[in-house]
Amino acid sequence: MSGFRTIIIATIALVGVSQMQAAVAFAEIDRQWRPQLSEKILLLPPKHMNDAIEQDFSKSGLAQNMTSVETQLFDQVSAIGQLKQNLSRYDEQEQIEARHQIIVGKKTYIELLGQQIDLKRERLHTKLGLLKRLDRNLSSDTAQQKVASDVAQLQADAKSRIEGISSKLREQIALEPLTKETNFSKAFDKNMAAISALKDAIASHRMQSRLGLDSGATKSDMLRQLMLDTEADLALIGIETELLGHMAHLLSLDAMALAEDVAAQSFTVATKAQTYSSPSDAVPLFTQ
């Protein structure tokens, strides 16, 4: 009797999850992700752009929807686990009922998981669309890119000239006698030491690695890398969908096995075939 009561409790839990699922499905209207990010995100350091995108998603109705489905999946797994854990404690009839409830719970779980996969696919498509839009906006700003390129070239030329002058001065100073150290050579050594110290401080600063300055990655490079990562995640969604199909196939086999066991219980099957007398069995009666 206690076993049957446990089945009833687990069944109520499964039904409750199913009803919750229907309520959530009704409330899912327009619960989507419409990114609120503007082109200002391009002003952020490359490594912070993805964080800003994920933060925008976390505030969306789609994120709330996915969290709700995830909670239902967890509750469903708990209810199924409780039934399976107590299965050995039930009598034969109760086991049939428990197995039926497990199959119902697994069916609901697969439906929920399929819904979650669709939501994940929607999230990734939305993110990919946002990244492509940002990349187009960044690429269309040719004037800014040309200015940046010109500035970078000027900086490279200036650095080359400074290095050339520095090399010649160091060579000249090295050739002079040590006793003829001039005020200029002293100032030069002092300035070069100061520059070296500042460069070391920049390289070791904790914000240097966060900003990604030493990696040489531009915002355009970062956007393209994020797009590649998102497309890879979409490919994984395809694999998850295939796994879901295998789970559904296995569930159908469980349902067939249960139906067969129920049918077997409906008939009284003899454990041993009936045997009848044969003349050969009575031969000793006539020969002894």
**Token representation of residue 109:** 């779980």
The answer on pLDDT for 100 being more than 70 is: yes
Examine the domain organization and report whether 115 and 237 are in the same domain: yes
The answer on pLDDT for 58 being more than 90 is: yes
Q: How large is the average pLDDT for residues 212-239?
A: 78
**Most confident stretch, 17-26, 33-42, 52-61, 82-91:** 52-61
125 belongs to a structural domain = yes
181 belongs to a structural domain = no
Average pLDDT, the chain: 74
**Structural domain that includes position 13:** 1-30
On the 0-12 / 13-18 / 19+ scale of CB atoms within 10 A, 108 is buried
248 belongs to a structural domain = yes
Computed from CA positions of residues 145, 147, 148, 152, in that sequence, does the dihedral angle turn out positive or negative?
A: positive
Examine the domain organization and report whether 120 and 249 are in the same domain: yes
- Concatenating the DSSP letter of every residue in 35-72 gives ----GGGGGS-HHHHHHHHHHHHHTSHHHHHHHHHHHH
Q: For position 211, what pLDDT does the model report? A: 47
Q: For position 54, what pLDDT does the model report? A: 92
The answer on pLDDT for 262 being more than 60 is: yes
93 belongs to a structural domain = yes
Q: Tokens 């446990």 sit at which residue?
A: 6
Coil vs helix vs strand at 31: coil
Examine the domain organization and report whether 134 and 4 are in the same domain: no
Number of domain units in the chain: 2
Examine the domain organization and report whether 8 and 134 are in the same domain: no
The answer on pLDDT for 245 being more than 80 is: yes
Contacts of 251 (CB under 8 A, 6+ apart): 103, 106, 107, 110
**Most confident stretch, 78-82, 140-144, 148-152:** 78-82
Q: For position 113, what pLDDT does the model report? A: 93
Q: For position 48, what pLDDT does the model report? A: 84
Query: What is d(CA 107, CA 99) in angstroms, rounded to the nearest whole number?
Result: 12
Sorting pLDDT into bands at 50, 70 and 90, what band is 158? low
Examine the domain organization and report whether 119 and 232 are in the same domain: yes
Examine the domain organization and report whether 230 and 112 are in the same domain: yes
Examine the domain organization and report whether 67 and 127 are in the same domain: yes
% the chain with pLDDT above 70: 55
Examine the domain organization and report whether 232 and 102 are in the same domain: yes
Q: For position 240, what pLDDT does the model report? A: 85
Examine the domain organization and report whether 3 and 121 are in the same domain: no
**Most confident stretch, 97-111, 160-174, 186-200:** 97-111
82 belongs to a structural domain = yes
The answer on pLDDT for 28 being more than 50 is: no
Sorting pLDDT into bands at 50, 70 and 90, what band is 224? confident
Lowest mean pLDDT among 144-158, 177-191, 252-266: 177-191
242 belongs to a structural domain = yes
Q: How large is the average pLDDT for residues 16-34?
A: 58
Examine the domain organization and report whether 18 and 121 are in the same domain: no
7 belongs to a structural domain = yes
Q: How large is the average pLDDT for residues 172-191?
A: 56
119 belongs to a structural domain = yes
